Structure 1
Amino acid sequence: MCAVVIILTSSLNGDQSLKISREDNLPENITLNIELGVEDVEPYLENAYRKVVARLRIPGFRPGKAPRNVVESVVGREHLVQEALDSVVPACVDEAIREENIDPFLPPEVEMIGYEPLAFKAIVPLEPELILPDYGSISINVERKKVGDSEVEEVLGRYRSDSAPWVPVERSVKFGDLVTLDVEGRVELKTILKQERIDYIPSMENQSPLPGFSVQLEGLERGITKTFSVKVPDEYTDETMKGKDCHFTVTVNEIKEKLLPMLDDEFAKGIGEGFETLDDLRADILERLNKNMDLQVQEEFNEQALQEVVEKSVVVVPDLIIKREVDNMVDDQQRALKSRNLDLDSYLNHLGKSENELREEMRPAARERVVRNLVLKNLSKEFNLEISDAEVESQIKDMFAGANKRSIRRVLKSDEVKKSVSISILNRKAMENLVNLIKSNKSGKPKSKTASKTNILKK
């Protein structure tokens, strides 16, 4: 590790300067300690004042016209400093990274040191050094399952079921029927469910509204009311109800079953765009099943190939990078929960875990995600892959084929979208090259990636 102290003249605000000390903590990161004088911070404080005064309503002054000293007396100088930090810190960090010619692997982690003078440090993560394995040492064998008559008949059965109408029947309820119910459910004195004339299909797989509910419907006749209890499972989201009995009152209003059509040439003519005979339909199903099986085998081969390269590659992933990936995974989890009208705290409470425990459990998966991305990136370099602007534009147009021209033009102008699509295309090409090498069982000796200054600085 070496430390270098330098003074940079920044172009951020005319003739202002940044005082920077740099520590090269190779190969993991570079730490930049940045300090600004009072005169350097002043323009940012002035901008912060203008933003704050526009939002304030101070008696005796028109909106946006209160002097700065009055605003500071109302909100405090600390408030202006905090407002200024939102712009001064990112601007100074970006400028220092450019001046030092550093190529960050991830956005820097910034930590405040002091405010008089304004000082902070930025830890800039560097791309981990990765050494790819010899491809000749990788052997993949994926067994292809045979597609036969039973698989074809299974598809035909789904076609019959999907096209069958529901018809009323005068018998007791069986699994697979469409039953119209009035239902009320209570836990102690609390009503958790009360609906009339709802459609319900009882089956062993149907665990709604609670496990064991479907079984209680089997054998009921139309017009019959039944009262029964099922236990609320320990996995239930409401802590106050776990393990308690839920008392249901159910009335069967109507029972329907599917009237399956005859499996003949007439049936075949009504499927898709239509087939002349049932044999033609069977042949089409068999062909599509075989194509899907080939695709499934190829996808499994690709996944195993990538996993082998990931496991045999040599790389040390710094803790900071793993922590960032865990942050991404937690954010993904929160978005998924929000789409189901849940929040992270409720989810963790249901699991009986703390957020720290969840994050610790995510670390192995986070590391693997980082390594997979590094492998694909290094494979792209190893195979000297390139993509053209035309390829990216074509891919974007395919992705947004149903959108109007204005939306497509807007997307084509997005650097973020183009970057994401570019990475996707490179990854696909890298996998194609890797798979071809492994299938041909050729040995590959990746170039040495010994750590050097060229790994850290932009060329």
Structure 2
Amino acid sequence: MPSTLEQLSPTRVKLTIDLPFDDLTPAIDKAYQEIASQVNIPGFRKGKVPPRLIDQRFGRGAVLQEAINTVLPQAYGAAVQEHDLRPLMQPSVDVTELNDGTNVIFTAEVDVRPDFEVPDASAISVEVPVVKVTDAEVDERVQLLRERFGTLTEVERAAETGDVVTIDLTGRQEGKVLDDAESSGVQYKIGAGGFVEGLDDAVVGMKAGETKTFTSTLVGGRYKDQEAEIEVTVSKVQQQDLPDVDDDFAQLVSEFDTAEEMLADLRDNLVRLARLDQANQARENVLRALVSQTEFELPEALITAEQDARRQEIEGQLSRAGLTIEQYLADSDEEADTPEAFWDDINERVVESLRSQIILDKLAEESDIEVNQQELTELIFAKAQQNGTSPEQEIQHMMDHDHAAEWMGEVRRGKALGQIVAAATVTDAEGSVLDLEHLNSDGTLSDPSDETEEEPAEEELPTTEENPAVDEPTEESPAVEDPDEEAPAKSED
């Protein structure tokens, strides 16, 4: 079927498709069959109503319309492929001419990816922070481990700094209890901070069963930044005893026999985490530089649609959490201090994200980047970990919402970005050039000189449904317990 292309703008085209009636005939025959199977006409068995009678009863136009609707997607797809277009949205289709028995002419206007040149990645240079782990950071991780494996012993004396108290809190203004300003059974370590201002001073010196009232400024909720009277009641005082950092402690919290080995491993873990943070920052900086150096227009309709969708998504999340946008901004770390500024920032992020996706999609095509099943599986596991779900749930979600192509696009863009980062020059703040090409997913660096050719396996099993050629990623147990992972402290009453 012949088609012509008209460039309406850098981001919008008009396809005119001339569909011969011969290509429409099978769809017309099928439309007659479906109508015949659905209607009851005296004198004819169901499904045996002749086309001429259907034309008389329902009109030939209805049949042709049904057939055209069936054939249009395929005809449109063929025209898109013929002219090598990259549609960004659904087309606006209009049947302009219908010659029964001869041909059907229709037009399709659609926003497409504009033509643009991507800068040479090797010319991009960015800077990232230096990977540096201090003794204070190691000491902090050790302290967290000590607290996790410490013991709490209930005491009858007055509370002191460092003790863990169990308290009830009630906030009032003019004698009236405030909404969302009551908590009971809260366990708090005196001196930890991050709670109600003035709480430490209030509870120091209190014993179990005592109540005190003090004035403080609320830090969250609908009464944020307002003064209130806070009534605190201590129900339990516990002394926290921390283990010494010795070889016995190392054997308790890690796989190592000595404290020296444990501390060295903690430092190595912090270095690996810092290196991953550095790599993520490098990817963000390189992509931002690439986007800023690549000039092309975005269709306004696409921008509006994506911004509206993002806004609806955020408003839905806030509604489910029972928050207004003002409450969210008051309690969050967002830089915007007004709803207007917040939505302006979101709109800018949407535009930058769209530009990033379009650039990476083009690079992936030019580099013939493909995505295999293993890579999709790794993304599913990563999504499950991020969302607190199981891989099976993520797979079901992907199938229910037809996200397979979208998720594979995510992987493809990630691989394209990886190639760009490897080609770019990334230096740290001290001027050292970083080799991120050989950074492993666990933050370690592989040495390409150590790569050796593996011996072939004795027998390779064929890929079948019972024996898929996909190795599910496994999580190795850390050498040292993660001190950030919550665990109840031991209590000795």
Aligned to 1:334: 315
CA distance, structure 1, for counterparts of residue 234 and residue 87 of structure 2 = 62
Aligned to 1:384: 368
Aligned to 1:26: 9
2:275 to 269, 294, 315: 294
Deviation at 1:430, TM superposition (A): 0.8
Aligned to 1:435: 421
CA-to-aligned-CA distance 1:299-351 (integer Å, 9 cap, x gap):
22222211111111112223222222212321332243245332558658999
Aligned to 1:264: 246
What amino acid does structure 2 have at the position aligned with 1:200?
A: Y
Query: Does structure 2 conserve the Cα–Cα contact (< 8 Å) formed by 1:206 and 1:214?
Result: no
| Residue 283 (structure 1) aligned with residue 264 (structure 2) | yes
Aligned to 2:206: 221
Aligned to 1:199: 187
CA distance, structure 2, for counterparts of residue 298 and residue 97 of structure 1 = 43
CA distance, structure 1, for counterparts of residue 312 and residue 160 of structure 2 = 44
Query: Does structure 2 conserve the Cα–Cα contact (< 8 Å) formed by 1:228 and 1:249?
Result: yes
Aligned to 1:141: 127
Aligned to 1:58: none
CA distance, structure 2, for counterparts of residue 197 and residue 345 of structure 1 = 29
CA distance, structure 2, for counterparts of residue 371 and residue 409 of structure 1 = 28
Aligned to 1:254: 236
Q: After alignment, is 396-405 or 302-311 more displaced?
A: 396-405
Deviation at 1:146, TM superposition (A): 2.9
CA distance, structure 1, for counterparts of residue 398 and residue 226 of structure 2 = 56
| Residue 179 (structure 1) aligned with residue 160 (structure 2) | no
Q: After alignment, is 399-408 or 241-250 more displaced?
A: 399-408
CA-to-aligned-CA distance 1:242-295 (integer Å, 9 cap, x gap):
6654223222222223210011111011113x3211112122222222222322
Aligned to 2:118: 132
CA distance, structure 2, for counterparts of residue 218 and residue 440 of structure 1 = 51
CA distance, structure 2, for counterparts of residue 408 and residue 362 of structure 1 = 27
| Residue 362 (structure 1) aligned with residue 350 (structure 2) | no
Deviation at 1:232, TM superposition (A): 4.4
CA-to-aligned-CA distance 1:359-401 (integer Å, 9 cap, x gap):
4443222211111111211221232222345654675578679
CA distance, structure 2, for counterparts of residue 123 and residue 156 of structure 1 = 63
Query: Does structure 1 conserve the Cα–Cα contact (< 8 Å) formed by 2:170 and 2:230?
Result: yes
Q: SS state of the match for residue 358, structure 2?
A: helix
State the percentage of identical aligned residues.
Answer: 21
CA distance, structure 2, for counterparts of residue 269 and residue 294 of structure 1 = 27
Closer, same or farther: CA 123–226 of 1 in aligned 2, 3 Å: farther
User: How many residue pairs are counted as aligned between the two chains?
Assistant: 361
Closer, same or farther: CA 297–248 of 1 in aligned 2, 3 Å: closer
Deviation at 1:423, TM superposition (A): 1.3
1:314 to 295, 305, 316: 295
Q: After the TM superposition, which residues 407-426 of structure 1 pair with which residues of structure 2 at under 5 Å, given as runs?
A: 416-426=402-412
Deviation at 1:203, TM superposition (A): 4.4
CA distance, structure 2, for counterparts of residue 148 and residue 196 of structure 1 = 38
> For the aligned residues, what is the CA RMSD?
4.7
Closer, same or farther: CA 252–122 of 1 in aligned 2, 3 Å: farther
Closer, same or farther: CA 169–297 of 1 in aligned 2, 3 Å: same
Closer, same or farther: CA 360–105 of 1 in aligned 2, 3 Å: farther
Closer, same or farther: CA 242–393 of 1 in aligned 2, 3 Å: closer
Closer, same or farther: CA 278–183 of 1 in aligned 2, 3 Å: same
Q: SS state of the match for residue 270, structure 1?
A: helix
Q: SS state of the match for residue 243, structure 2?
A: coil
Query: Does structure 2 conserve the Cα–Cα contact (< 8 Å) formed by 1:104 and 1:126?
Result: yes
What amino acid does structure 1 have at the position aligned with 2:122?
A: G
Closer, same or farther: CA 216–161 of 1 in aligned 2, 3 Å: same
CA-to-aligned-CA distance 1:211-268 (integer Å, 9 cap, x gap):
42524524232043212222446xx543xx5665422322222222321001111101
CA distance, structure 2, for counterparts of residue 31 and residue 298 of structure 1 = 43
CA distance, structure 2, for counterparts of residue 30 and residue 24 of structure 1 = 5
Closer, same or farther: CA 156–145 of 1 in aligned 2, 3 Å: same
CA distance, structure 2, for counterparts of residue 251 and residue 324 of structure 1 = 53
What amino acid does structure 2 have at the position aligned with 1:372?
A: S
Deviation at 1:137, TM superposition (A): 2.4
CA distance, structure 2, for counterparts of residue 390 and residue 197 of structure 1 = 47
Query: Does structure 2 conserve the Cα–Cα contact (< 8 Å) formed by 1:32 and 1:122?
Result: yes
What amino acid does structure 1 have at the position aligned with 2:410?
A: S
Closer, same or farther: CA 270–255 of 1 in aligned 2, 3 Å: same
Q: Which runs of no fewer than 5 residues in structure 2 stay unpaired?
A: 17-30, 39-65, 94-106, 428-493
CA-to-aligned-CA distance 1:410-434 (integer Å, 9 cap, x gap):
5786683321331122122212211
Aligned to 2:144: 158
CA distance, structure 1, for counterparts of residue 394 and residue 166 of structure 2 = 46
CA distance, structure 2, for counterparts of residue 380 and residue 337 of structure 1 = 36
Query: Does structure 2 conserve the Cα–Cα contact (< 8 Å) formed by 1:108 and 1:122?
Result: no
What amino acid does structure 2 have at the position aligned with 1:279?
A: E
